[in-house]
A and B are shown apart, each in its own frame.
Chain A
């Protein structure tokens, strides 16, 4: 009669507790206790959550001017942190982090307040050094090249690695159109067809339909959620390879938050996304991989569904279940 009883699982490859803790490189050889044959992570992820590993449809057809052909191709680059340290004066806020951000994936950084998540993320686009007295050490490799190398132009780095902030901050003196175009004008890249690029960016941010008749109105006149999407469009307009988001939804209402989360899901086919968030459910919904930081150090990183169902480190377990934080 045991045949009648529904079996709980097939020969499901599982992630055994040999998965990495401090060193975050996923490509380390599997530990001997594993009994799986193929890369457990990919298969597991695919079986449980097919939507995560495939690129979703690209957002509504952008007017495909020849210059925009790039927009439909996988564009995100991988970022790798090597022994990254960040200081404010003499105090180390980030204490030696090795972390990989896979291309065209969303990686969430979670952790309690003051653990250094925002500081670390600001080091990725070299905004950290704008604070007087702040400095960073170590390497940040964008597609293999260290952006902290002395020959690198900071401004160029920031065009490739965009940032969206916690509080939506459209430029107050500019219209919607000018806000989106601001990046292009400020960066004085080959402007190309400005109007086309603005439309593409607004479509990419899911805002085009809402503002197409209001392009000349003040950017600050939009609702909070729309403003944040405007800021995303502004970042998208310069066609970055990576977008960093520092708690992009914490100032927004739940509906606006959900819209932005959907947007993130669509965007990842074009860019690599790193999102810092206080909201663990958000990290769970939105991210392919999640990294947990504590007191300036990386505690654990792994596929999101693993971090939230069976984390390796007890500190991670205690944090995600809310026993502290």
Chain B
């Protein structure tokens, strides 16, 4: 195929004319990996609802459904290996494949964190001594975490680095809420049952915070795919960039 080039002018070919089969495979792999984020979002929704209504049966479903996430992980992992072996991707394609490998690991971890939360629910019994203000904070954290997952998926599929960097900002909110919940738990004090419930809530909060971190990591992969550079986005100690 001919390509006319003048110095500085980019080659315009009918887009992606070469290696169509490979490009299709790559796109499918990306869809499967990002689809994993959808599954995790569902898992998070259900586990938060189970938490809000102390729904033990729902919690059991979440735990059982983690198999879907694990299955997705294995599928994408195998797909990546196969693509590397048969198609020898380079440059942008290679970065994408490497990123997808990271993404699917983060998806799997997020799924595990949802399960961790779900496992805590039955421990409090059917009628736990709930402190509404703490629960409210938890659910707010959950909402942020959910929004981070959705946003990291959008930033990856749109290759939007700005959107990815914004995740760090949201993550700061989650971290702030985490600290607040911890303070509340400390102040609960007197009643043993309530204290136990509060301890569980700390663990839930930590799991949600981990989910947020994983979403930020997905965002970092977006930056890597687009720019070829890898840098950590801010956490609460480092300012963004440098």
A-side residues, CB < 8 A to B, are 1-2, 5, 7-9, 12, 14-17, 22, 35, 112, 280-281, 284, 294-295, 297, 299, 307-311, 314-318, 320-325
Contact = CB atoms under 8 A, between A and B. Distances in A.
Interface of chain A: mostly helix, strand, loop or mixed:
loop
Contacts of B71: none
Contacts, number: 87
A9 B232 CA distance: 8
A311 B91 contact: yes
> Is the interface on chain B under 10, 10 to 19, 20 to 34, or 35 or more residues?
35 or more
A17 B228 CA distance: 9
Interface in B225-242: 227-232, 235, 242
Given A1-B209, A2-B235, A324-B11, A308 B94 contact: yes
B174 to A, nearest CB: 12
A16 B229 contact: yes
Contacts of A17: 227-228
Interface string B81-104: 000000011111111000000000
Contacts of B3: 112, 294-295, 315, 324
Most B-side CB within 10 Å, residue of A308, A315, A324? A324
A295 B7 CA distance: 10
Given A297-B5, A308-B94, A1 B18 contact: no
Given A308-B94, A309-B94, A14 B10 contact: no
A309 B225 CA distance: 10
A52 B89 CA distance: 21
B229 to A, nearest CB: 5
Contacts of A316: 91
Contacts of A324: 1, 3, 11, 13, 17-18
B18 A325 contact: yes
B37 to A, nearest CB: 18
8 contacts: A308-B91, A309-B91, A310-B227, A315-B10, A318-B11, A321-B90, A324-B18, A325-B18
B127 to A, nearest CB: 31
A312 to B, nearest CB: 9
A317 B92 contact: yes
B159 interface: no
